[in-house]
Amino acid sequence: MSPASPSVSRRLLARLRDVMAGGGSAEERLSRVVGLIAADMVAEVCSCYVMRAGEVLELFATEGLKKGAIHNTRLRVGEGLVGDIAAHARPLALADAQSHPNFAYRPETGEEIFHSLMGVPIIRGGRVVGVLVVQNRTMRHYTDEEIETMETVAMVLAELVASGELVSRDELVPVDGNALLPLRLEGIRLNGGVGIGTAVLHNPRIVIRRLVAEDPDIEHERLKKALADIKQALDDLFSRPEMRDGEHRDVLETYRMFTEDKGWLGKIGEAINTGLTAEAAVQKVHEDMRARMSQISDPYLRERLHDFEDLANRLLQHLSGESGAASKGELPADAILFARSMGPMELFDYDPKRLRGLVMEEGSPTMHVAIVARALDIPVVGRCKDALDKVEPLDPVVIDGDNGQVFLRPSDDIRDIFFDALHLRQQRAANYAKLKDLPAITSDGIAVRLMMNAGLLLDMQHLHECGADGIGLYRTELPFMARSSLPDVVAQTTLYRKIIDQAAGRQVVFRTLDVGGDKVLPYWNPYEEDNPALGWRSIRITLDRPAVMRQQLRALIRAADGRELSIMFPMVAEVAELVQARRLLDMEIAHAIASGHAEPRIKVGTMLEVPALAFQMDSLLPLVDFVSIGSNDMAQFLFAIDRGNPRIADRYDPLSPAMLTFMRYVASKCDAAGVPLSVCGEMAGRPLEAMALLACGIRTLSVSSPAVGPVKTMIRSLAVAPVRAYLDHLLKLPDRSLRDRLRAFALDHDVIL
């Protein structure tokens, strides 16, 4: 057979369209289809396997194998060559199939006389719903064009296979969880907060009514126009006042680049050339990408594929004439979105005043939509397995972003509990607002500096709203993560200057680039590591790539323009690393002065996250102006615990004698040397833990903006001396946690938690 040409593929598609539109049962039509494919592909065999419950592929139709094998031949996903194609969602072409180690012989089929095999997955909704196979007696080498033709045919067949006429849709629905009963789903926190509302399914499936094209040139023009419309929509979005600045704008600038990705658009163009309409071509490439996503382990690549999905959905809306749920005017006033995943631009389709939360089956804190959601202050729960299979449109929902939980169809009792909690949060927020301008001073006269953590330009507005004394931790990595290339000195300078300006004289502590581990940059190839948290990350990266650190330090110095500048180096494990980092800083200070810039007034600090550094305090403290304990990483390293492992994440309590003894030791060393010490991890933002930190001698806390009010309330109700004396006794106990004892103390002494 000669290589399949676009005209051959279009002719085959036209014949398939006529067969599928004809009479007879679905199985009769499928039988005619495999015969047509076998003839057109010059193959002795064409077979179609359909996915059934339990991930079993059943032979439903064949031309060339024994008819008695129909409905009797079954292969599990991963079993045999057919199962291998389904497991990996990729085509397979073999000139000598029987010599392949995965070949599984089924005597009832009579296939022993056929040597060569080509198979492609039948994909619908990102899931494999079947496998289409052709076989030949000779050792035939199938061409790339023939594989492309088979993939195109499989896409058309997907509509028939997934229609419910061959296998009932109910058979493939997961059986765990009755759709009518209340259900609690577990996920991970991507953004905190509580939302109560009504389920809205994001991007309901767009039905493509026209698969086969009459004129490819017309389809290419339709695709071109749809892309132009999307680019215009992006330009309109950028013109909004709230989109002028911030990392969320960088996210969408990166998204704009996907609309010009030649590789992706080239695949769509090739699919159009095979005879598909523009929307069918987009859907084909889209489905193939979704199926293969499950085979990709790299977190950055998976998250960027979500952006391609967003773009594909938009193209389908434009090409099919259908619009998303957001533009139909039917969005409830209390919408909670459910999605397998989302691209960053999609969230802007919805009125943020009507959004109460977002639930995704996939996701991570670093994905673009999570960054945008944090900027919009929307609770988000990710990695919520099978959420779309278990929720129905307009179901009542409660989302608990703080604890990574979603309650579907909650009972009245559950709803009442969360309504009360939400009402109480609102009342507390009003009370906290009254404290905004009052000092954080304990009842026995100890002043506490209460700072705020930030990572987005949009966070800066909260500095003045919550009444924090300054920014104790500005995470500079988020702008790096939101872009598709390394931001240059000019871009960084512009951003840092805006941050300093908006702080209006209050201190801002800039932490230098802290990436690696679970924070991946798109323009650096990820380094495969067995233990990323203990690997090439944070200051280890920037010391190995000093040009990156020098550019960032140069931008910070220029942005300060002679004003006071606080710079903090992360994850320093030994004093030698700090000395090396300071050497780079001194070089940039000299460069700034030589270039005519104002002489900077710089305070230099270090994060204390690695326990080893605590044993070098005497040599460390003369070199720094301040120290900040990162309690999240410190607890992880102190207890040798993987924070991302749900089995052990809560095994050790930061309110343990070990952790608090460590805190008190560091505080005493810093106090003796006259070096300010702060704590800037999650521990500082919880009132009970903050009380214990003050008892350990720590006088500066840096917390998230929502935590400023609760922690300040605790501080103003606390006398430090009694709890410090009580802690002296507690640290001698062998208890694994002092939490209950400290909470009881607070209740007995009227400390407001």
Instruction: Write out pLDDT tens, residues 136-154.
Output: 999 999 998 899 889 888 9
| In contact, 365 and 190? CB cutoff 8 Å | yes
Q: What is the pLDDT of residue 230?
A: 78
| HSE toward the beta carbon, residue 423, CA cutoff 13 A | 6
Mean pLDDT across the stretch 170-186?
60
Query: Alpha-carbon distance 646 to 612, whole Å?
Result: 26
Tokens representing 176 are: 């765990």
Catalytic choice (46, 368, 462, 466): 368
User: Residue 82: what residue type?
Assistant: V
Q: How confident is the model at residue 3 (pLDDT cuts 50, 70, 90)?
A: very low
Query: Alpha-carbon distance 403 to 192, whole Å?
Result: 8
What is the set of domains in the chain, with CATH numbers?
Answer: 6-172 (3.30.450.40), 176-204+331-424 (3.50.30.10), 205-323 (1.10.274.10), 440-748 (3.20.20.60)
| HSE toward the beta carbon, residue 448, CA cutoff 13 A | 36
Query: Alpha-carbon distance 108 to 67, whole Å?
Result: 9
| In contact, 601 and 565? CB cutoff 8 Å | yes
Query: Alpha-carbon distance 250 to 480, whole Å?
Result: 9
Q: What is the DSSP letter of 519?
A: B
**633-677 tens-digit pLDDT:** 899 899 988 766 656 766 789 999 999 999 999 999 999 999 999
Q: What is the pLDDT of residue 629?
A: 97
Residue 329 scores a pLDDT above 70: no
Catalytic choice (48, 670, 680, 696): 680
**Which residues 6+ apart lie within 8 Å of 697 measured at CB?**
664, 667, 668, 671, 724
Strands 194-201 vs 396-400: parallel, antiparallel or unpaired: antiparallel
Top-confidence residue, 32 or 348: 32
Strand partners, 407: 184, 398
User: Residue 464: what residue type?
Assistant: H
Whether the full predicted model's pTM is greater than 0.75, yes or no, is no
Residue 65 scores a pLDDT above 90: yes
* DSSP secondary structure of 634-655: HHHHHTT--TT-TTTTTSS-SS
| In contact, 104 and 81? CB cutoff 8 Å | yes
Tokens representing 583 are: 């050497």
Share of the chain above pLDDT 70, in %: 84
Q: What is the pLDDT of residue 375?
A: 64
Query: Alpha-carbon distance 404 to 385, whole Å?
Result: 12
Query: Alpha-carbon distance 116 to 362, whole Å?
Result: 38
Taking alpha carbons only, the member of 496, 486, 455, 449 closest to residue 470 is 449
For the chain, what is the mean pLDDT? 84
Question: Within 10 A of 139 (CB to CB), how many other CB atoms are there?
Answer: 12
Tell me the C-alpha to C-alpha distance, in Å, between residue 245 and each of 29, 248, 507: 56, 8, 21
Strands (E) in 42-126, as ranges, are: 45-52, 56-63, 74-76, 92-94, 116-124
Query: Alpha-carbon distance 588 to 599, whole Å?
Result: 11
Asked if 48 is an active-site residue, the reply is no
Q: What is the pLDDT of residue 705?
A: 84
Query: Alpha-carbon distance 517 to 534, whole Å?
Result: 8
**Which residues 6+ apart lie within 8 Å of 123 measured at CB?**
89, 129, 154, 155, 158, 287, 288, 290, 291
Strands 626-629 vs 677-679: parallel, antiparallel or unpaired: parallel
Query: Alpha-carbon distance 631 to 637, whole Å?
Result: 10
Q: Is 516 exposed, middle or buried (0-12, 13-18, 19+ CB in 10 A)?
A: buried
Taking alpha carbons only, the member of 111, 112, 117, 113 closest to residue 142 is 117
Tell me the C-alpha to C-alpha distance, in Å, between residue 608 and each of 173, 614, 624, 639: 50, 7, 12, 15
**Which residues 6+ apart lie within 8 Å of 730 measured at CB?**
657, 660, 738, 741, 742
Residue 214 scores a pLDDT above 80: no
Residue 241 scores a pLDDT above 80: no
Tokens representing 711 are: 């922690």
Q: What is the pLDDT of residue 246?
A: 57
Strands 188-191 vs 56-63: parallel, antiparallel or unpaired: unpaired
Q: How confident is the model at residue 328 (pLDDT cuts 50, 70, 90)?
A: very low
**Which residues 6+ apart lie within 8 Å of 624 measured at CB?**
578, 604, 605, 606, 675
| In contact, 255 and 345? CB cutoff 8 Å | yes
Residue 302 scores a pLDDT above 60: no
Residue 216 scores a pLDDT above 80: yes
Residue keyed to tokens 């309110």: 655
Q: Reduce the DSSP state of residue 422 to 3 states and report it.
A: helix
**459-518 tens-digit pLDDT:** 788 888 888 999 999 988 877 766 667 788 998 999 999 999 999 999 999 999 988 765
Q: Reduce the DSSP state of residue 521 to 3 states and report it.
A: coil
Strand partners, 381: 189, 359
Residue 394 scores a pLDDT above 60: yes
Asked if 46 is an active-site residue, the reply is no
Q: Is 434 exposed, middle or buried (0-12, 13-18, 19+ CB in 10 A)?
A: exposed
Q: What is the pLDDT of residue 634?
A: 92
Q: How confident is the model at residue 177 (pLDDT cuts 50, 70, 90)?
A: very low
H or E segment to which residue 437 belongs = none
Which of 159-168, 213-222, 550-559 is predicted most confidently?
550-559
Residue 188 scores a pLDDT above 80: yes
Top-confidence residue, 368 or 578: 578
Taking alpha carbons only, the member of 586, 630, 587 closest to residue 611 is 630
